Structure 1
């Protein structure tokens, strides 16, 4: 089976890789650069037995639909066995105008490539659809929309920082001070005007201190050693990713 996860930005792109590897035993295969529309995006390919999983960081919530178009177009010209069987689109409620409007945009993309389905796309539920591949054969695929109910305690970045804080008192103190700084530095909310931005800023500020010399290996090891298998206890929507 061949699956793909479309996520918003670079942080999600990195954290999802480690989550899938730790929680669901996927293994790293490769990192690629893709050109989608007028922008270069990153793709990480994971493997488990004969199954592959691509994680694509789309470069923001406003790029998710264009990346979905890219995936569906790829399916429409694919050879047998080369299409994506499972397509997951992940965003959060801080970024989506309304769930229904976003769902309609996903449905519209499926229809562009003559996809056939019954019903509507519903958050956290698989929708099966039919499409025709590059050889004129009718194929089945499923799409899953995960619009995460954004709560700071359930964000991947917050889970990671809490895990680091629980493991080291010195780092815990730094995290607390970084959080206080972020909460107070932009009093007019001119820049940090969404909860999502505040959470990401806390994550970025801590790592700017903890790995200020851009020590990639150290940052990678910190993220890798977080007990990601426990994350589904906080964010149960991610249990669906175990079906890939």
Structure 2
């Protein structure tokens, strides 16, 4: 049987497919769609502002679909055997099936995090392509800049709360760990980030294990609030049209 250690360590701690998580997922999806409708009424059909919320809502729906697929199709041992035995080279038993489903659930949750991050990063790059900002060194910053400079520049130009810098720094460091199977590596050594009174430790050469889907759902709420504040800021409302170049 495949071992859980073969999977990234992010999002291991919780079983996602339970009523509280599904209810939270649905609530988040509705809240993003509500904002999509608000900004859709204000801007052209291809504008990045409504599409920021639309994309995340779609990703949440696809994530729910994947979880439902887990219980509907993969919960049958014969289906697991048909799909996995050629690759695994061993029989899939009823006993091992539960562990395999947990692995699969963790895998799609890991993928969910990565795709959501890519979605809001691409939106922010589209904005910077139209709204000039400066980086942390006071130099002009365009859409090709490092993401660190992108979010710092947007927070500055919109006059938003500094807590959002910490949020995106935390998310960026988590995203970078994905490339190393959740292990944190940095030539700057170990780091700790305090966000909303909670300390998150990144230990050089060690896996990040604090991430749970509940935590990421919390972050998704904060990300939604960030984009609402960003798009309502005077500088962004000056722009009649900011096309989403990655539709």
TM-score by length of structure 2 reads: 0.30
The higher-RCO structure (CA 8 Å, 6+ apart) is 2
Q: Flag the structure with higher helix content.
A: 2
Q: Flag the structure with higher strand content.
A: 1
TM-score by length of structure 1 reads: 0.30
Larger radius of gyration between Structure 1 and Structure 2: 2
